[in-house]
Structure 1
Amino acid sequence: MNRSLIEDAFQALASSDPGRISAVFTEDAQWLSPPGNATVVALKLIDHTLDVTHHMVGRKAIVRFWAEDFPRLFVGDLDVTFHTSHADGQRGIAEATVTATLANGNHYVNDYCFVFAFRNGLIHRVREYTDTARGHRMTFASVPP
C-alpha cells in the first residue's frame, strides 16, 4: 500500500491541486531537500517575497509550495519517471528522474532519491536527494560557489 502511496503522491504533486496534495500528507509532515538547491534559489529570484525553504514543515507549507510556488519555476512538461521504489511498514524509497521545462525556457532533467516515512497511511516525512550542481547548471547555466 505505501508503495502506491508514493506514486499517488507524485501524481498529486504534479497536478498542483491543493486538495490532492493535502490528502497524502500528515498535518505535521516535513519535506527536506538539499540546502541551497536551485529550485529554492530560483524561486526567491523570481519573487523575493516568497517564503520558500529547503525544509518545509507542516502540510500547509508543503501544499503551498507544490500548488503555488513550484509551478512558477517548473512551467511545463513536468514528468516524474520512477526507476525503482520500495516500501514496507513505515519507510519507503523511490528513485526517479524529473523532467520539465523551466520558466527561463531551459529543459530540466535530474535524478532524485526520495526517502519516506509513513504514519497512519499518509506521508509524514520526505528527505530528497539530488545532484544540486546539475540542478544549478540547468537552472542558471552555472554552479554556485
Structure 2
Amino acid sequence: MDHPTAKDIVLNAWKTFATRDAAQIASCFTADAEWIAPAGNATAVALDHTDHLIGAEQIARFIASEMRRLYSDVDITFRAVHADGDSVIVEERMLATLPDGRPYDNDYCFVFVVEGGRIKQVREYMDTRKGWQMVFGEAAA
C-alpha cells in the first residue's frame, strides 16, 4: 500500500497484535502513543496493571505477553469497523479462557486515532461490570 488509510493501518495492527511479537506490535504505534481503558477495569485489576498505557513499548509488551497471563484461547470477532479521516472505531466481541478454565465473553469498542501512519491513541470501552463478574465472579461485583 502506497498510502494506506487510517482504517487500513488499524486493521493491519489487529493482525499484528495476533503475532504476539512485541517489536512488530510496537511498530504500529507512535513512540508516545496512549492506550486508555476504563479505570479499575477487571483486566487491569487482575493483572495489577495500569489502565493507561503510555508509549509504544509499554503497549506492545502488554499485548504481546502480559495480557496472556489472564486470557488464553483468545478469539476476536469484529462486529463493525467505522472510519472517518484519522479516526477508526472498531466494535468487537472477545471470547477467551480465564486461568481457571472459565469462559470470558465481552463486547468492546475501540476508538483509534492515527497520526503519520501509526496509531497515536486508543480509547477502549467495554462492559466493565460484565468483565468484572467474569474475571472475579458474581459475588465480587
Q: Describe the SS at the equivalent of 1:36.
A: coil
Q: Which amino acid aligns with 2:9?
A: L
SS of residue matched to 2:65: helix
1:126 to 113, 122, 139: 122
TM-score (norm 2): 0.90
- The one-letter code sitting in structure 2 at the alignment partner of 1:117 is V
Deviations 1:27-51 (A, max 9, x none): 110000001111011112xxxxxxx
5+ residue gaps, structure 1: 45-51
**Structure 2 gap segments, 5+ residues each:** none
Residue of structure 1 equivalent to 2:27: 23
Distance change >3 Å, CA 143–CA 81, structure 1 → 2: farther
1:6 aligns with 2:3: no
Quote the residue 1:49 is aligned against. none
The residue number in structure 1 matching 2:136 is 140
Deviation of 1:144 (Å): 5.1
The letter of the residue matching 1:27 is A
1:19 CA drift (Å): 2.0
Alignment CA distance shift 1:30-1:143 (3 Å): farther
Contact 1:14–1:78 (CA under 8 A) maintained in structure 2: no
In 2 relative to 1, CA 12–143 (structure 1 residues): closer, same or farther, beyond 3 Å? farther
- 2:100 and 2:15 map into 1 onto residues whose CA distance is 24
Contact 2:34 2:121 in 1 (8 A): yes
Matched to 2:88, the amino acid is G
Indicate the percent of aligned positions where both proteins have the same amino acid.
43
Give 1:143 deviation, angstroms: 6.3
1:40-71 alpha-carbon deviations (Å, 9 max, x no partner)? 11112xxxxxxx20000111110111112101
Aligned length: 137
